[in-house]
């Protein structure tokens, strides 16, 4: 996709200062873009100001064996694995009254909050957005875009004239770069795996669709230049990637959250490999689970997205899930990290999304319904004490 005719860099707001938000904010700042972090509270904004307005990035990926060899071949070392993105602004997202002098237009916004926090986060900045704005949704799961449309821009075809000046352009993204943030370093992100990220403009619900505003072209150009394996693609191609990623998350994350195991627990041994598990029933149990879960997801996709049926077969989904489980075998899924820390998970936007999609299209989803229910029970358990 050729990005031409874009204007000079203007401020990019990043809503969500978790590991992903900090990583993208830091790299965008390094690329010369003015950045404002939108934080939950004024106290957080004050702490960021006292820290010098800097985001610290630790490139842990350079310490991996393959990367270390490449660095040594270039005569470099991994001593420069930590770097600072400086001169970053921050402010709280407390909504201000419409018409207030402090309400400023947001030209470009990246939302990296947890999926369950999206609507509240969007509400906090909606007064600063209009049709000249571009919003990037970079989150796990699916359904946040649809939730925003239902909540803030309902029935666009019936209210087109009213909404044409209000609805921003939306860019959907998916990120495979590994990163994490440790609690004691609030504004430090660890880039653990350098992989890739993809972005595409979500087709407008208005008919005819309005032309892309300059902010969208600027945002796409900024994203495409990031040293994070970034590519710009079309929506149909990205949609397929998102559906496969959703399947992998739906199969892997709940089981890891419920068992406390890393992603490799889901990975079956290669066909000619040696069975390493002491429990001889493990292979048959996991084989049955993978087959059932992937078949159910394929059935939902076949009904909901028939034009993608040939690319979302049971075999294709199972192979993708297995690939992700193998390649991230040592990782702790975000859902496992959430339940371990007593936080709400994103299961509503992963397995819950598949359950709702199945209901809409008349496809039973017993596996995903059970996984969803068990994870919700696991979440609720943190509110209850043990009885002796």
pTM above 0.85, yes or no: yes
Distance (Å, whole) CA 311 – CA 376: 31
Greatest Cα-to-Cα distance within the chain, rounded to the nearest angstrom: 69
Q: Which of 206, 233, 260 is the last residue of a domain?
A: 233
2 occurs within a structural domain? no
Q: Which of 186, 215, 233 is the last residue of a domain?
A: 233
364 occurs within a structural domain? yes
pLDDT tens profile 233-274: 999 999 999 999 999 999 999 999 999 999 988 887 655 555
Q: How would you list the strands of the sheet with 89-92, edge to edge?
A: 89-92, 35-39, 12-15, 108-111, 134-138, 169-175, 197-201, 230-232
Nearest to 296 by CA among 236, 345, 363, 342: 363
The domain containing residue 180 runs over which residues?
12-233
- 221 and 243 part of one domain: no
Q: How far from the centroid of its chain's Cα atoms is residue 7's Cα? A: 27
Confidence at residue 64, expressed as pLDDT on a 0 to 100 scale: 64
pLDDT tens profile 187-230: 999 998 889 999 999 999 888 888 999 999 999 999 999 999 99
Confidence at residue 100, expressed as pLDDT on a 0 to 100 scale: 47
Confidence at residue 311, expressed as pLDDT on a 0 to 100 scale: 97
- 228 and 243 part of one domain: no
18 occurs within a structural domain? yes
5 occurs within a structural domain? no
21 occurs within a structural domain? yes
- 97 and 204 part of one domain: yes
Confidence at residue 284, expressed as pLDDT on a 0 to 100 scale: 84
Q: Which of 180, 201, 233 is the last residue of a domain?
A: 233
- Secondary structure element (H or E) that encloses residue 57, with its range: strand 55-58
What is the CATH classification number for the domain harbouring 338? Answer: 1.10.1040.10
For the chain, how big is the Rg over CA atoms in Å? Answer: 22
- 264 and 309 part of one domain: yes
**Tally of domains in the chain:** 2
In this prediction, residue 277 has a pLDDT band, given cuts at 50, 70 and 90, of low
3-class SS string, 181-239: CCCCCCCEEEEEECCCEEEEECCCCCCCCCCCCHHHHHHHHHHHCCCCCEEECCHHHHH
- 206 and 283 part of one domain: no
pLDDT tens profile 149-194: 999 998 776 667 777 889 999 999 999 998 988 888 899 999 988 8
- 64 and 90 part of one domain: yes
| 178 neighbors 46 (Cβ within 8 angstroms) | no
């Amino acid at each position: 996709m050729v990005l031409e005719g874009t204007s000079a860099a203007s401020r990019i707001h990043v809503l969500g200062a978790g590991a992903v938000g900090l990583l993208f904010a830091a790299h965008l700042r390094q690329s010369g873009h003015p950045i404002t972090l939108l934080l939950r509270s004024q106290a957080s904004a004050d702490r960021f100001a006292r820290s010098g307005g800097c985001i610290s990035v630790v490139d842990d990926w350079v310490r991996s064996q393959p990367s270390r060899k490449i660095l040594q071949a270039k005569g470099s070392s991994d001593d420069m694995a930590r770097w600072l993105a400086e001169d970053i602004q921050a402010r709280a997202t407390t909504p201000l009254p419409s018409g207030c002098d402090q309400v400023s237009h947001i030209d470009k916004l990246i939302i990296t909050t947890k999926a369950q926090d999206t609507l509240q986060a969007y509400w906090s900045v909606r007064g600063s957005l209009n049709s000249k704005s571009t919003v990037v949704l970079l989150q796990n799961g699916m359904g946040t875009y649809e939730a925003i449309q239902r909540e803030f821009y309902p029935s666009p075809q019936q209210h087109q004239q009213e909404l044409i000046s209000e609805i921003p352009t939306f860019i959907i993204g998916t990120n495979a770069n590994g990163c994490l943030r440790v609690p004691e370093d609030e504004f430090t992100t660890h880039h653990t795996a350098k992989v890739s990220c993809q972005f595409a403009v979500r087709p407008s619900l208005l008919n005819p669709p309005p032309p892309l505003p300059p902010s969208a072209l600027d945002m796409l150009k900024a994203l495409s230049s990031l040293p994070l394996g970034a590519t710009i693609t079309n929506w149909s191609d990205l949609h397929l990637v998102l559906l496969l990623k959703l399947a992998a998350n739906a199969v892997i994350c709940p089981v890891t959250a419920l068992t406390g195991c890393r992603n490799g627990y889901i990975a079956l041994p290669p066909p000619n490999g040696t069975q390493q598990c002491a429990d001889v029933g493990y292979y048959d149990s996991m084989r049955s689970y993978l087959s059932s879960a992937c078949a159910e997801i394929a059935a939902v996709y076949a009904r909901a997205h028939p034009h993608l049926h040939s690319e979302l077969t049971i075999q294709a989904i199972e192979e993708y899930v297995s690939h992700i489980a193998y390649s991230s075998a040592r990782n702790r899924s975000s859902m496992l990290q959430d339940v371990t820390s007593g936080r709400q998970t994103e299961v509503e936007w992963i397995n819950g999304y598949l359950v709702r999609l199945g209901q809409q299209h008349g496809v039973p989803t017993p596996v995903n319904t059970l996984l969803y229910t068990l994870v919700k029970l696991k979440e609720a358990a943190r509110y209850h004490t043990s009885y002796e």
